[in-house]
Structure formats: structure tokens, C-alpha cells
Structure 1
Amino acid sequence: MSDDKRPWSAADLYELKLITDLRISPDGQQIAYTLQRVDKKSEKKYSNIWLVDTAGGQPRQFTYGDQSDSSPRWSPDGQMITFTSNRANERQQQLYAIPLHGGEARPITQELKGQIATFEWSPDGTTILMQFRKTDAAVLEREEDEQKKKLGVVSHHITDLGYKFDGGGYMPTEKWHLWTVDVESGETTQITDGEFHEAGPSWSPDGERILFLSDRSGNPTAGIFSDDTEMYTVPAAGGDVTHIPAHDGRKNMAVFSPDGESIAYLGTPLKEGKWWQNNELYVIPAAGGEAKNLSAEYDVDITSTTLGDFGSPPPFSGLQWANNGQSIYTNISRYGGDHIVNFTLEGEMSY
């Protein structure tokens, strides 16, 4: 072993800094990302937002402090970055915004009590769409009552097969739903409700509709092991939910084309047995109909990625239409490596 090499030690783990959730600015000139670190003294994980030019250069720290700032999202005009942070309450994330050229973080929301899974700006820059789950009422009641805080373990009424996660504890009884937030006033509006989870929300290009995924079959495995996930739309202001009929297999990760006339989505050819089937890439008319499998000729698993041991999500895993709407970018795992690929609407794949 050469002099500049040595075995790993436990102390080296404090020096690891993880980069996650990279987002390119609308003009393509900058990247916003989250940098996570571990504080040696408290052994807590903290994260802040950083910026770097796409052409390279020295990264610049955008937010500061010992808190968890994460999930940077550019406003459509590129003049503002929103993110989640627990700076006001260590146990609760809220939405914040900072002008690109600096300034104090402005809280967009201040009263959220629950979990934010995903969020994105509306095309006109006035509204933020969230996948949000409220904190269970029993938990809130317990937190606000000093006597109840002293009681033992809260009882749980189990109704779903997916009721607990290793390292995460019991699942909440509240469901994931879609909410919107007015960027200026911070007013929140619940768009969907009911006894089902909704996930993967995205805007239509005109901002009039929201596309999302949900299992509304009543299956007790819904939300964790579901084979019955379907695509739906709902008006951005709320209203009736519309099912988008497609092929009979499982669906996930759906996005509108730039003109709003088509939807690209992932799915398995068969409804059952998703664990042994490849994810395939499909395109369908936005109103529903016959789905075209763009990846049928290739033995690849769309969005499959290589995982590590640091608890960091993969750098890219999703679907992105080309600006001209004639092809779709995604990622695959093949021959031991991860690759970004492009599929044309004729079903031709290229690296």
C-alpha cells in the first residue's frame, strides 16, 4: 500500500458530503442542488442549497445554517428558488423562497402539519403543487397535551398490509393527497381527498389540469405493494377526478408532453408480478386510449438504478420529454452501469 493510502476509519464518515436533487435552471446556466453533511459534535445531519454553473466553476452556497434545507425548485422565470426547510421547527418542513440574487428566506407556508413528498411550480409561476400527507389527528392531539405526552405507546388500528417500515415505524393513517399553495399568500387548498393515496402529481402545460397516480381499487395493499395503480387527472382548482384508460398493467411515473396532447408513463406489461417484469416506457393520448410501448424491442428496465449504502437517492430517475415533444429522456441500468437514454416516439433508443 502506498503512503497516501490507508484504511477507512469511522472518523472518515464525518467527511462525507452527499449531493442530491440537482435541478437545472430554466435558462440552462446554473444547477441548484442539496449538499448534506454530518455535524461531528451533535452527530446530526444538516443540508443546505448550493449553486454551480453548468459550464463548471466554483460552487456557491445559497442557504446557510444548521437545519435541513432540501428539494430546490426553480420558479418558471428562473428568478427564485423554493425549497423545503425545518429552520422554524426541527420536526416540521415548510416551503421557503429566496430570490436568485440573494436575500432572506421568505416562508411561503407557516402552518403545514404533515409531510411534503414532492412539489413543483405551476407553469404561470403563481402556484405550487404538493403531494402532502397531514399528520394524524391523534398525533397532533398528543403533541398538544402535556398529560398525553407522558402516556405509553399509542395504539394502532391496522387496516393495510403495508403498515410499518423498518427504520420508519408505523405508517400514518392519513393518506397522501394533492394540495396547491398560492405563492404570494401562502394559502393552501386541498385538491383531492378520500381513502386512497395519490402520488406523482404533475401539471399540464397550460396549468389547467393535474396528472397523478392512484390505486382506487380498495385493495388493502394499495400504496405499497399495489398492482392496481392507474392514471387520473383533476382540474387544478379541484373538482371531479377523471380516469385515463390505458393498458391493463401497472402504471407509474406519468408526465404530459409539451403540447399536452400525450402522456408518457412507465408500466409493466402485466398487472401482477411486477417484481420480475421490466418497467416499460409507454405513450398514450392524453384522453386515454391505446398505449404504445416504446421500449418493447429492448431488454432494459426503465428507471432502474444502482443503489449505494449512504441513503442517498439516485442522481436521476424519471421521464423528461424533449422540448420538441418528439422523444423522451429517461435512465436505465445495464451491464453494471446507469445510463441516460433517449427514446423516439417510433421506439428507437439511443445513448
Structure 2
Amino acid sequence: MKKLLTTTFFTVLSISLGMTQVQSNLELLDIFNMEYISDPQISPDGSKVIYVRNFKDVMTDRNLSNLWIVNFDGSNNRPLTTGNHNDFAPKWSHDGTKIVFKSNMADEKMKLYLMWLDTKETMALTNTPQAPGQVSWSHNGRYVAFNMFVPKENKSIIKMPAKPEGAKWNDPPKYIDQMNYRGDGQGYIKGGNMQLFTLPISGGTPKQLTFSDFDHGGPIWSKNDSHLYFSANFHKDEEFEALDSEIYQIGVGTGETKALTDRNGPDGNPVLSPDGSKIAYLGFDDRLQGYQLTQLYVMNADGSNAQLISGDFDRDVEDMAWNSKGDGLYVAYTDKGLGKLASITLSGKVTDIAEGLGGLSLGRPYNAASFSGSSNNKFAYTLGKTDHPSDLAVVDAKGNSKRLTALNDDLFSFKNLGKVEELWWESSYDQRKIQGWVVTPPNFDPSKKYPMILEIHGGPFTSYGFVYSAEIQAYAAAGYVVLYTNPRGSTSYGEEFGNLIHHDYPNHDYDDLMSGVDALLTKGFVDQDNLFVTGGSGGGVLTAWIVGKTDRFKAAVVAKPVINWYSFVLYADGVQFFSKYWFGKKPWEDPENYMRRSPLTYVGNVTTPTMLMTGEEDYRTPIAESEQFYAALKLQNVETAMVRIPGASHGIANKPSNLIAKIASVLAWFEKYKDKD
């Protein structure tokens, strides 16, 4: 599974004549050796867990994954699949005898596979040009349903004349007339839509159920297998109202479609109750706020009697599963940077069961987790803490939990990690309590003075937390104290806190961040003359904002930022979203507000040496944003550089080497300007 680095050091102990690994700090190449688990799927009877084990190949620069299975008590942990490919998205049949999963094991084409768990025999169910999307089992175990992209030619009004025989012309012009014509991680969007299909587990040709000009979300089956439930936005103005989706049902035999919800706002992620009488789903009433709580609803399976369950719960419901009796659910949520699993009654009473859910974001310390539940109220979840990426853990309804894996113990047993401690302070703007975390270098000596990096999360409506981060640990290993924080606008503190930046971002989140730096300086071990700042996406916005407001930092790295809101809202993917929810008006309707909130406006104040860094195929915060700031800094004669990551989208770390390149770039820039001892 894990590749050993060729430069591994051993010390021979002459006394014991044994061999012991030399203790050392993390190095950038160690990222290729870091593993984590994802998508744990517990069996219907709660006796076993299948999970995805993620690893990397240093020779091909690929993220890879296999399926593993383990008993609920942690015994018999073993692989179901092996090899340098991608096996993922396992789904148990309702009787627990089979699974389906997706894999490119055969020929690099992503296919849906069936595995009989008694013999481990495997067969490909699909061989379609497009890969199946989200998959679910019928209750009788004879069929699966899934959504899959069906291409359709984009029509063009441009008619080119026929070229002479043997002539070599350029490709024909690309005619675009849709609002959303490119997507981050997708490139320029091809014509077509996600449609619904069913397929017998004996294989064959998938049967297409839908043929509309709209995308259909992942389906689930009704209890009697006569219908599928799914989420979609069928509204005529769906290009302008991207969040207005509904829950639908479609007859498997008839194709007849019926809307089960009808309100202004997103309704999605339907989950059927054990007896099939109710559907739980997630959504909210759209009030056009920058941050809106994702709430839990329950309705009858025919769409009647829809009720808000989590109305008094001031946290996002991230995922859910019904309890065995169908009189309540289990939900995942994040509270003050800590991932939790809880039960919730149909009257809205919440009781915590487990904490420490997380660990799915290997690069930066974002809160991201996954869990699944059995028919007898047992659960499997990703366990993430500050000293390790996600491992597998299980828990029962009484809160009895157990960690089942420790994938990185072999690596971390001879690597020194930075220590992570929670820190709270009051914002200088309004004395609100702000949470952050301080990471000190390995072998930390509080009597010494260390350079410091302020690392700022993106979003801005996301949160950092009590989880491992390869990027943060790499900075600590290089000798820096690192402060990462959740300023106003971060999630996991309630809707009011999140919307403190509604139509006012960036602004007073700057005060929260500077107050955090001040609070850390009072500890006495940070060199106030060696302060550095970096952040990506929304954190890049704030980093660019900071250097326009203060010169207290020796150097800054602005990663994948927005520099000019006027241009950003017109060429980021999701054009219909940002001006509507983050500003309330289009740029030409309120140009002063757009420019007041744009870091570009304050470039004349910048004296801090500032590096820009963005993926060349980033369509969320396109690289033209970085190019604008780079050009402006050059014109101002401010020391600057631009780093372009080839082939990278907004998630720069789509390849392991890209994550390494990002970290190496940040450290190189800071080392250039750091005062030497």
C-alpha cells in the first residue's frame, strides 16, 4: 500500500544490536506517504464496515484508493481490492450479501462493479462511455439506480462552408449561449444533462428513465421499488435561481414525475425511513443571505405534512440517517470547529453521541467528515484529530466508540509533529469571542522567539477545526509557529455569526485576525519582527486585504484570490450566485460597494512583499484575478512574484505534487524575507 522513500535513515544501536528509525521532522516528500480513510459504509446488520483507503503513488503523482473491510469490533481488517487504481463509493445491498462500487481497475474507464462478499467475485455492471454518478440499491436486491451524464451536442448558429478535400483547418468556433459555460474542475462544460437510469444486477444495458433538459440528482428507491426519489431544479428560471431545487418522485415503470416539495430554496439529499412512510431531506428557505443554515426536514413519502425538525438547532445539518424505529434521525454537524454525531428526535431534541468526526481534508485543516448507520443503530465514521488524518472509528447509540485504524502510525512513529493548542481571544472591533489554533514547531522551546505564519481559511463560509493538516504541519516543521483561525463569517458558530460578513466581506474579519495575532504575541515566543501571512481562496482575499491595510507582516502569499469583485462575479463559475447572494446588486448597479470591498482598491497602500499563486485552470477564482494584482504591484514597484500551477483547478492539490509545490512556494517566499538568526 504505502511506498517507502528511498532516502530512509537508520541508526544501528551498538548496545542492543537492533535498528531504530532516526526521529526527524516531517519533510515535503512525506506527503506521498500519508494515507486516510473515507466513505465508511457499515453493513445493514452493523457487523462489518467497508471503507475507502486512500494513498498516493510518488512515481505517477496520483491519488489512489482501494476498498477494505473490517469487523465492527476491529478484527479481520483486510483489503477487498488491491492495486494502483481507484476503487471507491461502496454501497451495501439491503441483505448485506453484495456491494456495488466504482472503479477504473480494468482499463482506466470508470465502471460500476458488483462484488459477492462470500466469494469476493467481481463483475463489471457497466461499460458506458460516461461513468455512473450516485448509486442506490432496490430493496428487493435485483436492481440499482443511478444518475449519469448523457451528452448532447451544443447547437450553433454558425455554419461553416465545407472545406476542400485534404484541407487542414482550425477547429470550428465554439458557440456559447448558456449562462454557466464552464466549471471549476470541469473546464468548458459540454452539452448534456445528468439523467436517471436503472440496471439489473445481472448486467446489461442501463434503462434511461429521464430525458429532460435538466440535471437529476442521485436517486433512492421507494420501499416497494415502484418509484425513485431524487432532487432537481426543473424551474424555467433555473439558470437564475440555482438554489431552488425540489424533491421529486418518478415511476420506474411509467416515467411519471411528481414534485413532492414546493418552496423557494434548495431541497435535496432525500433519505427514506425504514418503513418507507417518510422522507428526510435537507434545505432552507432562501432569504438571499450569504450564509444560510442547512436544516433538516421530514415529510410523508407522498410529499404531505412537511415539517422542519432542526428549527431550534443553530448549526448546519451536514448529513443524516434514520434510526431503526423511524422515530428520529442521526445527524452529523460541526460545533466550534469540532465535528460531532448526534441523535435528533422528530420534535427537534439533539443529543450528542460522538465527537472528533473529520479528517477528510488532508491539505488544510477544514472540517470534513463522513458517517453511515446500520439498521440496529451502529455507526461508522471518519475520525480526524490534530495529530492524524482521518481514520476509521465506530460507535453505538449509547456513545461507546472505538478507533479501528491508525493508518499513519508507521510514518508518525519516527516523525516529529507540531503541537496544536486551541486559543480564544476577543476581537478589537466588537469584543466577540474568536476561536483559533496555535501550532508550535517540533521540539518547541517557549523561551525562544519563532517566526509566525497567519494562515487564513477560504469560503468564506467554512471553518477550520481540531483536525490534521499536512500544510500546517509542514510550516511548523520548517520552524514557524502557525496561527489558524475562524474569524467572523465562519461556520459552526451559528447563523448570526456567519452572517456578520453578509454584504460586508472583507471588513471586520480583518480586526478578528489582527486581534488573534496580538493575542498570540502576548505568549512571548513569537518574534514580532518576523510575521508572515497567507491564505487561499477566501483566505487569499483576506491576505490581499491585509497587506493593503497594514505593513506589520514581513511577506505575504496570496493564493487563488479574488482581487476585483467587479470582474470576479462576471467570470467565476456560478455567475448567477455571487452578485445575488454576496452583494445584493449587480456590479453596474452598485460599483462603489464592489470596489470598496476589492483588495485592488487598496493596492496603493501595499509595501509588503507579496507572492500570488493560482492554478492555471482555476475557474472559481480565475487566474486573471492574480494577474491583476501582480500587475498592479509591479506598477507600484512592490516586490512581488507570481506562481502558476499548471493543470490545477481551484483545489490546487488535485495532485500530491501540487500540494507540495504550494507549500514549497510559500516557504521559499517567506524564507527569502525572514530575518536570519
TM-score relative to the length of structure 2: 0.45
2: CA distance, partners of 1:101 / 1:58:
14
Structure 1 partner of 2:101: 83
What displacement does 1:295 show?
1.0
**Helix, strand or coil at the partner of 1:185:** coil
Aligned positions of 1:164-203 closer than 5 A: 164-203=182-221
Structure 2 partner of 1:298: 313
Q: Which amino acid aligns with 2:182?
A: K
What displacement does 1:156 show?
4.3
Change (3 A) 1:86 1:326: same
Structure 2 partner of 1:278: 293
Structure 2 partner of 1:29: 47
2: CA distance, partners of 1:117 / 1:75:
17
What displacement does 1:153 show?
6.5
Q: Which of these residues, 51, 62, 80, is aligned with residue 69 of structure 2?
A: 51
2: CA distance, partners of 1:82 / 1:274:
39
Is residue 196–residue 216 contact of structure 1 (8 Å, CA) maintained in 2?
yes
Q: Which amino acid aligns with 2:271?
A: V
Alignment deviations for residues 91-128 of structure 1 (CA, whole Å, 9 cap, x no partner): x2111122213344211122x11132210111100001
Q: Which of these residues, 53, 61, 68, is aligned with residue 86 of structure 2?
A: 68
Q: Which amino acid aligns with 2:312?
A: E
Q: Which of these residues, 95, 100, 105, is aligned with residue 112 of structure 2?
A: 95
2: CA distance, partners of 1:202 / 1:319:
14
1: CA distance, partners of 2:268 / 2:125:
30
What displacement does 1:162 show?
3.1
Structure 2 partner of 1:350: 351
Structure 1 partner of 2:491: none
Change (3 A) 1:246 1:346: farther
Is residue 115–residue 135 contact of structure 1 (8 Å, CA) maintained in 2?
no
2: CA distance, partners of 1:249 / 1:23:
30
2: CA distance, partners of 1:170 / 1:41:
30
Is residue 145–residue 197 contact of structure 2 (8 Å, CA) maintained in 1?
yes
Structure 2 partner of 1:145: none
Segment drifting more, 28-37 vs 287-296: 287-296
What displacement does 1:26 show?
1.8
Q: Which amino acid aligns with 1:339?
A: K
5+ residue gaps in structure 2? 1-20, 155-167, 353-677
Structure 2 partner of 1:314: none
Segment drifting more, 155-164 vs 62-71: 155-164
Matched, 1:267 2:268: no
Matched, 1:40 2:55: no
Structure 1 partner of 2:248: 232
2: CA distance, partners of 1:22 / 1:155:
46
Structure 1 partner of 2:143: 127
Change (3 A) 1:88 1:274: farther
Structure 2 partner of 1:205: 223
Is residue 160–residue 220 contact of structure 1 (8 Å, CA) maintained in 2?
no
Task: Answer 1 or 2: which has greater strand percent.
Answer: 1
Q: Flag the structure with more relative contact order, 1 or 2, with Cα contacts below 8 A and sequence separation at least 6.
A: 2
2: CA distance, partners of 1:218 / 1:8:
54
Q: Which of these residues, 288, 295, 310, is aligned with residue 303 of structure 2?
A: 288
Task: Answer 1 or 2: which has greater helix percent.
Answer: 2
**Helix, strand or coil at the partner of 2:214:** coil
What displacement does 1:330 show?
1.5
What displacement does 1:66 show?
2.1
Is residue 246–residue 284 contact of structure 1 (8 Å, CA) maintained in 2?
no
Is residue 113–residue 135 contact of structure 1 (8 Å, CA) maintained in 2?
no
Q: Which amino acid aligns with 2:104?
A: N
Change (3 A) 1:163 1:5: farther
2: CA distance, partners of 1:108 / 1:332:
35
Matched, 1:106 2:123: yes
Structure 2 partner of 1:331: 332
1: CA distance, partners of 2:351 / 2:71:
27
Is residue 38–residue 52 contact of structure 2 (8 Å, CA) maintained in 1?
yes
Is residue 130–residue 150 contact of structure 2 (8 Å, CA) maintained in 1?
yes
Structure 2 partner of 1:312: none
Is residue 192–residue 238 contact of structure 1 (8 Å, CA) maintained in 2?
no
Matched, 1:249 2:253: no
Structure 1 partner of 2:568: none
Is residue 246–residue 288 contact of structure 1 (8 Å, CA) maintained in 2?
no
Is residue 268–residue 274 contact of structure 1 (8 Å, CA) maintained in 2?
no
2: CA distance, partners of 1:154 / 1:280:
47
**Helix, strand or coil at the partner of 2:217:** strand
1: CA distance, partners of 2:49 / 2:172:
44
**Helix, strand or coil at the partner of 1:218:** coil
2: CA distance, partners of 1:234 / 1:154:
39
Alignment deviations for residues 229-263 of structure 1 (CA, whole Å, 9 cap, x no partner): 01110012341101113444321212222222222
2: CA distance, partners of 1:167 / 1:248:
28
What displacement does 1:165 show?
2.6
2: CA distance, partners of 1:155 / 1:180:
37
Change (3 A) 1:4 1:102: same
**Helix, strand or coil at the partner of 2:220:** strand
Change (3 A) 1:187 1:7: same
Q: Which amino acid aligns with 1:285?
A: N
TM-score relative to the length of structure 1: 0.83
Q: Which amino acid aligns with 2:135?
A: F
